[in-house]
Every structure is written in C-alpha cells, then in structure tokens.
Structure 1
Amino acid sequence: MAEPLAQKVVQPAINPSHMAYCPTMDLIALATVDEHIHVYRLNGQKVFGVQSKQPSAKVEKIKWKPNGQVLAAAFDNHLLTLTNAQTGKVVHQVDCSAYSQSPICCLGWGVNFTDSTRVSQQINKLKGELSLDDLINQHPQTKSVESVPDLPLDLAYLDVEASLPKLSVLSSGGIEDDIFSSRASLDTLFQPLTPGTTDSADILAVGFEDGTIHLSIYDSFQIGSFSLQQVSRGFQRCRPLLHSSHPYSTTHSLLVSTTAGDDGELHVVPLDLRLLSNAGRYLSLLAAKSTQLHNVLRYIYQVQKQMYSDFKASQDLPRKFIANVEEALQEQTGCTWVQAAYHLVVTGNCYPEVKEWLVDQLAERGHKRWEKATTTGYENVRRLAHENLLPALERFTVIVSRLRGLSKFQVSKVMLGLSTQDLDSILDTVYCLQLVGHRILIASGLELRQFQAFSAWLRQEIDNQSTDAGNTDSPEKDTNVDHASTLEYIQGAMTQSELTRFFDLEGDSAHSLRWDLKAEERSLFELYKRELKVESKEGTTMKRLPALDALLNHLNDQCSAIFSSITETQKRNVRFASPTFLGVGMPACMDMRMLIEHSQKIGKFVTYVILGPSSKQREVRVYRIAFGIENGMSSTDVVEIASIRTAAMEVKDVKFIDDDELMLAVSDKTSSRLIRIPYRKISNELSGLHYGVAKDHSGTKASDESGRIDGMPSIDLSDRESLDAHTWQGLRAGVAWTPKKMEINGRKGRRVICVLAQDLLHYRIYDLDSSTETQATGTERSDEIMS
C-alpha cells in the first residue's frame, strides 16, 4: 500500500466540485463552501488565495493552464479571473457577460501545436530526452535538434521587445485590479516569447449553461462565441460538461448534455479548429503580439487616468484659493487676481483685499498645502510621461510594426485578417500620442519651475504682509526670487495651464469646435503637428486640439477594428462536427481524455469518455471514439464501448490517470478502494478493458437506451479475485476516509492523486508510482496513522 505524501484538514469544508491539481507544480487548488479559492503546497502551506471582489459571488469552475502558470476561476457574476501561480496576482479579468448571460458550467484549457508534424519529428530525434509534456511545460531542450535553420521563421520569431527597457510599475489606484502595480505582474504580462510558446497556442474554452462556447488564445486574444444549438435540432436545450484536447490535434472534444435531469442525453461533439492548420506557424505569433498589443493599450489607458487624476488634483486646490480672493477683488477694485498679483510683483503695492487674503485666509498653512498639491501634481505628470507613457508608446509602435510586417504577406493577410492600411492608421495615431507625450513632458517641467519661483515669491509676500507695518525689524525682500518666471506663471499656468489642452478638465461639452478623428482622411499626425505650429504663432487654432483621452479613445477604436478583423477571420475557421450519441442518464461522475493511438505507423486521434453509474445505467461505461481528421475537418470513424461492473459497491468518482490507466474510487459498507485499470486499446496487445463496437453512434438517440451490447466482455469487480487484482489502495471504512472526489495529475514527474474524504474536511495526496502491492483482503495499512 502507498503511504500518503501529504494530508491536510481544511476549514471550512471543501466544495467537491471545485478541486484542481497543478500540472507542473505540487500545488492543489480548491474552493471552500464560503466561496474562497485556496492554493496549497504539499506541506499544507497556503500559497495564495483567489476570491471575487463581490463577497456574494460564488465559484463556478476552476482550471489550471496546461503549463501550470495560471489558474482560471469563474464566478457566478460572469467574471473569469486569471491568476499567476508564481506571484498570486491577477493578470487578467474577463467579463463573460458579453458572451452569454447564463452561468459558466465548463472550463477547458488545452495547448495545440501549430506545426504538429515538426514537433513530432523533433521529439523522435531526441529519442526520449524530450517528451511531449516537456514541450507543454516549456522546459528547455536538453539537446539541440540537427535541422536546417528556417531563416524566415527565425526572423519572424525574433523578439525585439525583449531588448526594450521594462515598463515601469504604476502606483496602486484601484484601476484594472492593480495588475500593473507590481513588478511580478508586469513581467508576467509582458514576458517574451520562449521556445515553448512560438509554435503553440493555448486555447481557453468557456462553456455556458445555454450552450454557448467562447474561445480565446493566450488568455485575452478572443476568437469568438459559438452556439451548440447549431449542431443539431435536438440541441436546443444543451449544456457543455467536459472538454478535452490533444496538442497534435486541430479538433477538440466536448461532452454535452442535451436535456436536464436523469433523462439527459449525453453526446460527444467534435470542435474543429481549422484556424490551427490554416494560419499555421504564424498563429502563435499573431495571438502573442495581439495579446501584447492589448495589454500595452490597457497600460497606456491606466497611465492616462493617473496623469489626469494627478493634474486635476494639482489644479483643484489653487482654484479654490484663487476663487476666494477673486470675488473680493471684483467687488472692491474691479480687477482680477492675475492683475492684482502682477501689480504686486512689479510695483510692490499690495491691495488691501489681497493683503487680507494672504494674511488671514491663505497664510503659511494654506501656502504649504498649495505648494504640496501643485508640486506633487506636476512631478507626477512629468514622471508618468517620461517613465511610463513614452516607453509604452515605443513598445506599442514596435508591436504594431511587427503585425504590419505580417500583413505585408498576401497569404498571411488572408489567413490572419490583418490590414496594412488599418495598421498604418494606428501608427499615425501613435505618432500623435508620442508628440503629445513630449509636449506634456516639456510643459510640466517648465510650469513646475515657474511655480517654484511663484511659490517662493508668494511665501515671501505672506511673511511681508504678516509683519506689522510699524515693526522696524521687518524682513528684507529676497533678491533671489525669479521675478521673470513668477510673472510668466501668474499670467500663464496659474489660471490656464498648457496641460489643460491635453487633459481637458472642463469636458467635451465646453468646446463646440472639435476634431472628428474618424472623419479625417489625412494623416492625423501631420494635422496635429501643423495645428500646434499655428497655435504657437497665432495663439489659437480654428479647432481645439484633441486631448490625450480623445486620442486614446480613437486609438482604442482603431485597435478594436483590427482585433475584430482578426477575430472574424479566425471565427470562420471554427465548426462543430456531427455529434456522437453515448446514452441516456446523467452520471454522478465522469471524465474525458483525448490521445493519439498509433497502429501500423498511422496515428489516429481517439477520445475516451468514462461515465459513472446513473439511474439509467448501473455499470461504469468507457467509450472509445476514433476520429478521422482531414484538412482540419473531423469525422467519426468508430465508436466502441466497454463496461466495468461494480456490483454492490458505490462508485464515488472516476478519473483518467494518463494515456494508459484510469482510476475508480469505490466503497461499500466495510471498506473503500481505489481501483486502477488499464483502459487503452492497442492492437495486438492485451489491456485491462476489451471493447465492442457500439450499435448506434449517430447524433440521435440510440434504439437501445440502456447501452447494453450483447456479448461485450467487461471487468467484473464483484469477483473477489478481480477486485483484489485491480485494487491499488485500500481505505478504512467510515465517513472520515470514504472517498468523495479525486484529482489526478499523470504528468511525467508529477504523478500524484489527491483524494477528498466524504466529510469534505480531509484530503490526502498519494504518489501514483509508489508500491502497488495489495493485501488479499484489500484493507488498508496506511490509515493507522490517521485513525
């Protein structure tokens, strides 16, 4: 018997529907009944937690990315949260309400190689030194492959962005879930292409209760939404249950229930992703660069929001101070604060209203507040422009230039949906933003120096006016005050900063003459540059220059058009194939796995489905569905079935371990067992299960709803000898260690099983490669340590 690697008691109780073991690290993710998600190490230490910002939101599904780097969590408020496993930070959050208003009921995450033939040859050449799991896990190769260099492909994958300076961290402001507020989150979002990502695409499938399937690549590159109702007339009420895929296959498999309750019909629906074969080796590059472009755009938006907030804060307090003296001056002298301040600087004569305001209202305390607010605002705007905005725009330009290079190829343009003209328009808008960024940088630095001179003069005047006129010890005037800069600030930036044209504090309604950026047919950059020259000479322009937010909104619209074009092109290459009917009755437990089987040097993709007992069927069923795929389109070749009779034992859970074995958790009144059975059908070899051809595998209900096939051989666990032969682990009887749920990781080097107890408080983790010797009685030895 195997000794447990780890064991833990969790409070509050665990939700058995939400458990997931990390494919590449010894981390177990689980959701508790209080709707919090916790990730633990084997020693029971908590690594990080995930929960929705809405306390009432409930967890719907959790799923690990195939490389184990990201954990996806779906909540009933239609939010899908992607959390980095290394940092515990949220790297992306998707509002799924745009795809469907129904709850999320299925999460599938698979990796697909865009050139599976080349990858297969690469693995074969290394002769066991490199496995398929190593490529999925993005482990470095242990040996170089002797192959002819592909210069065009190498140039296409040349990652120029890696040589650019890293984007600076933004301050936490509650925007975008603060994903740009830590170095770790930024490095995760903008990580360069690695050898394991250049020839593969991570496809995330989100299934909804109304039968909608939404697909995306690289977490945020959207392919589109598809309805299972188009598969068949009988799919008007359907919901996806499970998803499976294989890295070499362009077809994914979905297990779908067409009706609710015990009368639900189960079907396997192939999902053909022809975009994997049509776009080929450029798909991963297109998806990666589009995702990076989207992330940089989000970063620039947050920079703009912080710049606007900082500049607005620097202007609000001085306006309040000036408004207090402005009203008194208008009533008594008929002049403005600007005129009175200018008069005071030049002549030294202070109006009584100004003196009263300086001494009684502003004073030293108000001056310090004014100085702090304005200085901090200008410094933050200058820093954000220099350290964040301009570097981000530079990175944005490089990414757009890479996409523009792809669009130059005619075949690439058709297959990828890129338009050179649209990308040129995006670059033109980015040039405008870069010009604005430099103007902001120059203006903020100049006005900061002018304000510092003004602040020094203002403090001196407060001291002078506060001194009694009859006091002979009055302080002398500071001859170091920069009166020229002070006067420039008074008649300029104090009431009308040059930065207001870029941040538009008054809103669009205050300006009737505005640029229609979408209607401009000429270069926006040239028009903007010309208007700036006219304004600098004449002091005004016919139209008010668009602010930073207007340019960003225009850029967002242009990028959305590009993303939509790519999405529509790839969406046309997705189709549902004919469904395969499995049976009637909703089992309490099920699992699904897709693999490739070689027969006479010919590889065929096969989907295995294991279904626990239901009200319609008392046996455990294992279905084998073989597909033929040609030009990215699949067809069902054969459907075979095998059964496992469990007699009086109750089946708690069923799971596939790897490409060769499956695991059953069963219990009776005296004991519980983990049953390990070989399931794979390989020609000319003996296996644990023997399959017979199913009578009817069409998309409609089979005539024999029970699914029984006469003469079909099966494994009968009611036979004591057979039961003991297949028992891998025995568990002590009782609520504490009657198994409720299993999670298995069959990856190379991570072969473990996590067993959740019936009381939902305890779980154990076993090594699948430990000793498999069993006692004849099937009782447990290791449970003595847990009694």
Structure 2
Amino acid sequence: MAAPSDFQVLSEKTLHHTADPTLISYCPSMELVALVTTDQQVLIYRLNGQRVYGTTQKAGNLRVASIRWKPNGQLLAIAWSDGSVRLVGAESSKIVHQFSASNEVSDITCMGWATNLTNRSTSSVKQNKISDSWNSILSADGPDGLLDLPRDLSLIDIETSLPKLSVLAAGGTEDVFSSRSSLDALFRAFDPRDNNAIDVMAVGTAQGTIHLSIYDSFVIGSFASPALPESATSRLVLHASHRQYSTHSLLLKTYISGAPLYFVPMDLRFISASSTDSDGKFLSNINETLAEKDNRDIVQALYHSVATGHTFPSVREWLVDELSERGHKRWDKAVTTGLENLRRLVHENMLPALERCSLILSRFSGIAKFQGSNSSLGFTNQQISLIMDTVACLHLISSKILIQVVDELELFTSFSSWLRYEIDRLASDSSASLADDAAEKEASIDHSKVLLYLQTAMTSSPLAVYLGDSPEAFTDTWSHAEHGMPMYDMLDKQLQKQERGLPFIKSLPRVEVLCGLLTQHASTIFSQIAEAEKRNVLFGKAYEVGLAEASAPIHMRITAKSKSVCETHIAYVPEVSKSIVVRIVLTMESGISSLQSISSSSLQLGSGIIKDLKIWDDNEILLLWESNSSTSLLNVSYTSASSDGFIMRYSPHTSKENGPTPIILSDDEVRRQFSRYKLSEQLSFVPEKLEIRERNPGTEEEDSRRVLLLAKDRLHYRVLKFAIPDALSSGTGDEDISMT
C-alpha cells in the first residue's frame, strides 16, 4: 500500500465549554459545524471560528437530546429532552417551526432527517434527451419517457406569481414572521430539483413511539415501535435511508440490560384593539359630566358646536382644561397610528396571504379533480371548494375593512383638525389678528366630514362589525358551514342588510368566526391527509443484529444495488478491538420491502481500541483506532469490490454465541493495510470522536467530503480535508440531484 497521505487542516477551534461528543453535526451543503456543549448550549460555527448561532438551555433541567441537519443544509433540527423539536434556519438563525414528538413529556432517543425521491423524475422528459421527433419521445424506454401532463402542470413554478408577504410587527423573540430573513427561510425560492423530493423526519421517543413528519412541518403521526422478541418496549437508536428508496432502515433496542440490537425496515408508501378603544378612553370623563349636568353626551355636544359654533360651558372646560393641546396630540396619535397599522396589516399581509391561499388551493382542487373520488389523497374537491369559499369570504371582509379604515382615517383627520381649531379658539383671546388666523384655519376644515365622523365613528367604529366580539352564538354560522354549504353568497346578502340598517346575522362578518371556520376546515383536511399517508407506513419484521458494547459506536448506511434491490450495512463494536459489519439485502416491490438475505463479517484490528467509526461511503468504513498511545484513521473496505486487496468475507449471519469468525490482523498489518491518511502527532491534540460530511455529488469541488475530529479534552476540534483526491473512494456513488 502507498505511504499515508496528509490531511489539509481547514479549521481548528477552541471551545469555551466542553462539547458533547455525541452531539456534533457537519452541515451537508455549507461549511458550518453544529455542536452542543455540556452546559446545553447549541452553537453553530463557521470554519473561521465565527459563531453564527447560539441558544442557551431551555427552562428547567432540559437538555439537548439530538441535533440533525436537513439534507440540503437549510435547517437545523434541535430535539430537547421534553420531546420538543425546533427547526432553525441556517441563514436567518430564526426558529421557523416547532413541534412536539409526543403528546406527553418524553425524551428523544434518535432523530433522522432524510430526502426521498419520488418514483418519477423531475420532468417527464429529460432535458438533455429531448428529441425533435414526437414519435421518438413516445417510443422512449421506460415510464420516464412518457409525458405526464397533470404532474408537470402541478410542478410549474408559481412562486413568482404569488403575492409577496410583508413582515409583521414582532410579537416575541421567536416570531418567525417578524423579519424578511425568517420569512424567506419559510417561503424559499422554487428549485426545480426539489420537485421530486420529499423530506422525511423520523423522531424516536423514550416511550417507544416513532414520530413521522414530512416537508419540515406536516405531521404524519406517531407509531408504536415494532414488537421485538423480548416483548418489551423498544426505542429507536439509529436511522438510515437512501434517496432512491422509500424504505428506511431502523435500528431498535429494548431497555433490558444486555439486550441485542434489532433491524427493522420501514416502508413509506406515500412518497389589534388599541385603535377602537382610544376614543372611549378620552371621552369617558366628559360623558359622565354631560350626563349629570345637561342630560346629553359628547357626540351631541360636539355636533352642536360644529353646526352652530356655540360651545356648551362643560364642553369648553373639558376642551381647554382637561384635553388641551397635549391631550389632543395623544388622541390624534393613538387613533391615527391604530388605523394606519390596521390598514397596513390588511393591505400588506392579510390580502396577499389570502391571494396566495387562493392560488395554492386552486392547485389542490385540480389535483382532486384529476385523481377522482376513489383516490387516496385524503381530501375531495368538495372540501377544497368549501375552503376556497371561506377564503373568498375572508377576502371580501378584508376588502370591506380596508375601505372602512381608509374612510374612517379620512374622517378622523378632518375631525382632529376641527378639534384642534376649537381648542385653540376657546383658549385664545378675541384679538383681531387671532380671529383672522382662526377664520383661515376654519375655512380649510371640511365640516361635513366632521359631522359624518361624529355620527358614524365617534363612539362606535363601523369596524366593530368585522373585528368586535360577537354578542350572539355562532349556531347559524356553524350549522351552515358544517352542512357543507357555501357561505359567500350568504355573507354578501348579510352585509347588504347591514349597510341598509336591517337586522343581520352579526356573527357572520366577524373575522374571528371566519378564521375559526377556515382553521376547522383546514385541520380536517390535514388530518385526513395525514391519516391517508399513515396507512401507507408499514413496519417490517424485526431481525436480530447482535449485542453491541455499551456506549460503543454504531453506524448504518443504505447503498443502492439496483432499482429494486438495496443493501443496509450496520457497523458496530461488540468488543473494544473487534468490529462487525452486518449486511442486510432487501428487495422492493410496489413500495414494500422483503428480506432477501442477511450476512455478516467480523474484523479484529490487532490489540488496538476502536474509538469511533463511520460508514464513509458506499465502499469504506472510517475508523478512529488507538494503539500504543497512538491514534490512526483507518479506511476499511466493507464491500466485495475492494480495490486495496482486502476483502471482507461475509457468511450467513447468526447473532448467537460469538457471531462470525473474525479476520484477525496484527497492529502492523492494520497500519499497513488500512492507514491511508496520516494524522498529526501533536500530543496536545488526541482525537477521540469522529464526525463526517459525505461527498456531495452536486458540488463542483473535486472532493466535498470533510472529517471533523474532536479532541479527548472535548475543548478542541479540527476540520480536515483530503490533501489529494482519494483514488480508492472516487466511485460515483449516488448521482442524484443535489439539494443544495
């Protein structure tokens, strides 16, 4: 074997607190390292050591249970010991979503996040194989050569056609809608390469459940872990998947001391009130005074002043002594700010969001019509039509609110100008120059608008029809909606009655009621979709793998052999100097896997100790091996198609007794055969833990793989890159579409 080559050190970092060696993860698409310290801080660093994200421990004695990058590197999932999972944007450092993996407080034992390709390619006809001949397209081999118009129409990019959402005012430290960067993390630009990919997250809990969700936030549901021969509660300890297969590999273990590991295949066959209260706050005192002295209210008194120019003594005293210039400014600012905020929210947030909903729902409607009533989508066109009707109702109400806010703002501006003029006139003397100024100001006031404001919006805003609390039960509204009857025409008629001053159903125009109906309809459809997909999650039979040493490293990887055959390799350490690789071959048909064979091979690496291991790619295992106070990084080929002269001998697997007969090598043979890369021999840095980033087939780099080594003191880590191309591991591996 050739002399060992050196690594290129890309980064070296010294931490302020010791890191948890089991909670380190390298970003798949960017040069970012996420880790958790022993004081329960989650930190993300660039290669230059700059911290880009940090969060402290949650309330109580909670700890971080697991961290996992999304396969495209855009989000980091942080699982806590109370069963909650937070998704953090890598670019915005904002929490874009949070959910609980269990109905009860339960620790999380494992979290996996994978990307699965759907059965068909991104386009019905590969772009580099498009032919000018229609006949040649129709005669293309395989189903990918045929046009699929409904699918291609459903994958058209409409993001640029959707109204752009504006940010909302911050409502808290974790408000995802309060910044442009966090909004962009939620609604990312469309990438055609993502068309045929589904992101699947599997979270195992200490209660023995497996929580599944797709597309970052859509929950499929929780499943009880498959029964094991010990008939005890099992927990998920490791998860692996491959982009090309809908079958995921699960490694389970019971809580019984000395219990072995079990392999189980999992088949996924689905692949604001301030603006409306301001007037009352400023008018409460004068209303009480007028009621006691003059048997009238402030609206009548001010209407009298506008119409006749005469001001009652009580009103004069209130305007000059109580309200005065300062009070008027506060009043004007409170009402104007409230109405302008409401106008901005409706115009920049509510209406664009409803338009986006309408466009997206139209695509759902098209899918439902095409699939027919017997499909397993989980929703029908009638249900989508009912939601679209509710969205149309909200759109109508929002338009009415916007018109009313603009009108009320205009009327209040005239009223505020008149009120300021009245305060100045009553507080000033009667000199000729001041009288001329007052006459000029009065001439600029539209008194008709002042009177209209007093009549319509002074004490009760017309907006209360849409935003106020409903004084009656929602029986009529709910019963109408529950019977699946459209509400738009009914709402339009009720609004016409309200405008004519006739009795109307007061609960129907309420935004709160309509949003409640929309939530109810959407929740029903989401639950039906989740239930339909849940029926397509199948767990296979459990197969015993073997007994691993306590706290020993375990790793699992799926490799593709053909369209219908895959291999799952499980590498673990039953003893300090020996490693076992179990090879499980599965065949897939119609999304259901079946066992073809189980074999295993064992390798004893001299007298050294295996500190950590990772299945590096489709050919090799990377091991951190310590012997005679010296640590080496070993590359061990685990396939029969090895190019380094070493071949793992597999035999039918048995977990009984001592397992397969090991291949025994001396320390010198281990170094000569497997030590292909030389680590630094500095005594100040002794590696103890290994983390890797696999090759990304979508990058232009000749080798995008990375190796992260955590020192024994757990305060230092290094990021390494291959100094020269790795000739023995330069196989194509996965050639799927990149998610970066």
- What TM-score comes out, normalization by structure 1 length? 0.83
* Counterpart position of 1:744: 692
Structure 1 residue matching 2:290: 3-state secondary structure = helix
Whether 1:535 aligns to 2:540 is no
Whether 1:708 aligns to 2:659 is yes
Instruction: Write the distance in 2 (CA, Å) between the matches of 1:2 and 1:395.
Output: 50
Q: Can you list the C-alpha shifts for 1:634-663, whole angstroms capped at 9, x where unaligned?
A: 222211111221343222111111111111
Q: Which moved more, 1:149-158 or 1:207-216?
A: 149-158
* Counterpart position of 1:183: 180
Q: Contact (CA 8 Å) 1:8, 1:763: kept in 2 or not?
A: yes
Q: Contact (CA 8 Å) 1:735, 1:758: kept in 2 or not?
A: no
State the AA in 2 paired with 1:326: N
Aligned in 2, Cα 1:689/1:252: closer, same or farther, shift over 3 Å? same
Instruction: Write the distance in 2 (CA, Å) between the matches of 1:583 and 1:689.
Output: 18
Question: Map of 1:591-610 to 2, 5 A cutoff?
Answer: 591-597=555-561, 604-610=565-571
Whether 1:634 aligns to 2:638 is no
* Counterpart position of 1:220: 217
Instruction: Write the distance in 1 (CA, Å) between the matches of 2:489 and 2:601.
Output: 72
Whether 1:195 aligns to 2:192 is yes
Aligned in 2, Cα 1:328/1:146: closer, same or farther, shift over 3 Å? closer
* Counterpart position of 1:259: 255
Aligned in 2, Cα 1:554/1:157: closer, same or farther, shift over 3 Å? same
* Counterpart position of 1:17: 22
* Counterpart position of 1:780: none
* Counterpart position of 1:247: 243
* Counterpart position of 2:398: 437
Q: 2:157 aligns with which of 152, 156, 159?
A: 159
* Counterpart position of 1:321: 282
Q: Contact (CA 8 Å) 2:117, 2:243: kept in 1 or not?
A: yes
Q: CA deviation at 1:409?
A: 2.4
Alignment: residue pair count: 698
Q: Can you list the C-alpha shifts for 1:430-469, whole angstroms capped at 9, x where unaligned?
A: 1100110110010000000000001001111111222257
* Counterpart position of 1:76: 81
Whether 1:355 aligns to 2:302 is no
Whether 1:111 aligns to 2:115 is yes
Q: Contact (CA 8 Å) 1:201, 1:218: kept in 2 or not?
A: yes
Q: CA deviation at 1:418?
A: 2.0
Aligned in 2, Cα 1:479/1:117: closer, same or farther, shift over 3 Å? closer
* Counterpart position of 1:722: 670
Question: Map of 1:105-504 to 2, 5 A cutoff?
Answer: 105-115=109-119, 149-174=147-172, 177-228=174-225, 230-232=226-228, 234-261=230-257, 263-276=258-271, 309=272, 312-410=273-371, 414-468=375-429, 473=434, 476-477=438-439, 478-504=442-468
Q: Contact (CA 8 Å) 2:228, 2:234: kept in 1 or not?
A: no
Q: Contact (CA 8 Å) 1:231, 1:576: kept in 2 or not?
A: no
Instruction: Write the distance in 1 (CA, Å) between the matches of 2:376 and 2:357.
Output: 23
Q: Contact (CA 8 Å) 1:52, 1:75: kept in 2 or not?
A: no
Q: Which moved more, 1:654-663 or 1:744-753?
A: 744-753
Structure 1 residue matching 2:165: 3-state secondary structure = coil
Instruction: Write the distance in 1 (CA, Å) between the matches of 2:289 and 2:366.
Output: 64
Q: CA deviation at 1:325?
A: 0.8
Q: 1:662 aligns with which of 606, 618, 621?
A: 621
Instruction: Write the distance in 2 (CA, Å) between the matches of 1:684 and 1:636.
Output: 28
Aligned in 2, Cα 1:83/1:150: closer, same or farther, shift over 3 Å? same
Structure 2 residue matching 1:246: 3-state secondary structure = coil
Q: Can you list the C-alpha shifts for 1:569-593, whole angstroms capped at 9, x where unaligned?
A: 1110111100110123444211111
Aligned in 2, Cα 1:256/1:146: closer, same or farther, shift over 3 Å? closer
Q: CA deviation at 1:727?
A: 1.7
* Counterpart position of 1:644: 603
Q: CA deviation at 1:517?
A: 2.4
Q: Contact (CA 8 Å) 2:234, 2:252: kept in 1 or not?
A: yes
Q: Can you list the C-alpha shifts for 1:56-113, whole angstroms capped at 9, x where unaligned?
A: 5421111111111211111224321112223322222223343x53111211111111
- What TM-score comes out, normalization by structure 2 length? 0.88
Q: Contact (CA 8 Å) 1:407, 1:420: kept in 2 or not?
A: yes
Structure 2 residue matching 1:408: 3-state secondary structure = helix
Q: CA deviation at 1:43?
A: 2.1
State the AA in 2 paired with 1:541: F
State the AA in 2 paired with 1:274: R
Q: 1:566 aligns with which of 516, 520, 529?
A: 529
Q: Can you list the C-alpha shifts for 1:494-533, whole angstroms capped at 9, x where unaligned?
A: 11111112111xx34x435764324444321111100011
Q: Can you list the C-alpha shifts for 1:220-261, whole angstroms capped at 9, x where unaligned?
A: 122221110x43463532110110011111210111111254
Q: Can you list the C-alpha shifts for 1:372-429, whole angstroms capped at 9, x where unaligned?
A: 1111111111122112211111110111110011111245851222211111110110
State the AA in 2 paired with 1:170: L
Aligned in 2, Cα 1:768/1:212: closer, same or farther, shift over 3 Å? farther
Instruction: Write the distance in 1 (CA, Å) between the matches of 2:126 and 2:578.
Output: 42
Q: Which moved more, 1:47-56 or 1:187-196?
A: 47-56
Q: Can you list the C-alpha shifts for 1:133-181, whole angstroms capped at 9, x where unaligned?
A: xxxxxxxxxxxx9956543332221223422332222222228x32122
State the AA in 1 paired with 2:17: P
State the AA in 1 paired with 2:554: M
Q: Contact (CA 8 Å) 1:501, 1:545: kept in 2 or not?
A: no
* Counterpart position of 1:755: 709
Structure 2 residue matching 1:180: 3-state secondary structure = helix
Aligned in 2, Cα 1:734/1:371: closer, same or farther, shift over 3 Å? same
Aligned in 2, Cα 1:707/1:497: closer, same or farther, shift over 3 Å? farther
Q: Contact (CA 8 Å) 1:60, 1:104: kept in 2 or not?
A: yes
State the AA in 2 paired with 1:374: V
* Counterpart position of 2:139: none
State the AA in 2 paired with 1:102: S
Instruction: Write the distance in 1 (CA, Å) between the matches of 2:189 and 2:679.
Output: 47
Q: CA deviation at 1:327?
A: 0.9
Aligned in 2, Cα 1:655/1:683: closer, same or farther, shift over 3 Å? closer
State the AA in 1 paired with 2:545: L
* Counterpart position of 1:59: 64
Aligned in 2, Cα 1:516/1:146: closer, same or farther, shift over 3 Å? closer
Which structure 1 segments of 5+ residues have no match?
A: 127-144, 277-308, 696-701, 774-787
Instruction: Write the distance in 1 (CA, Å) between the matches of 2:312 and 2:215.
Output: 66
Which structure 2 segments of 5+ residues have no match?
A: 1-5, 131-142, 697-702, 728-740
Q: CA deviation at 1:668?
A: 3.7
Aligned in 2, Cα 1:121/1:489: closer, same or farther, shift over 3 Å? closer
State the AA in 1 paired with 2:423: I
State the AA in 2 paired with 1:495: T
Q: Can you list the C-alpha shifts for 1:340-386, whole angstroms capped at 9, x where unaligned?
A: 11111112222222122112211111111110111111111112211
Q: Contact (CA 8 Å) 2:117, 2:198: kept in 1 or not?
A: yes
Q: CA deviation at 1:725?
A: 2.5
State the AA in 1 paired with 2:175: D
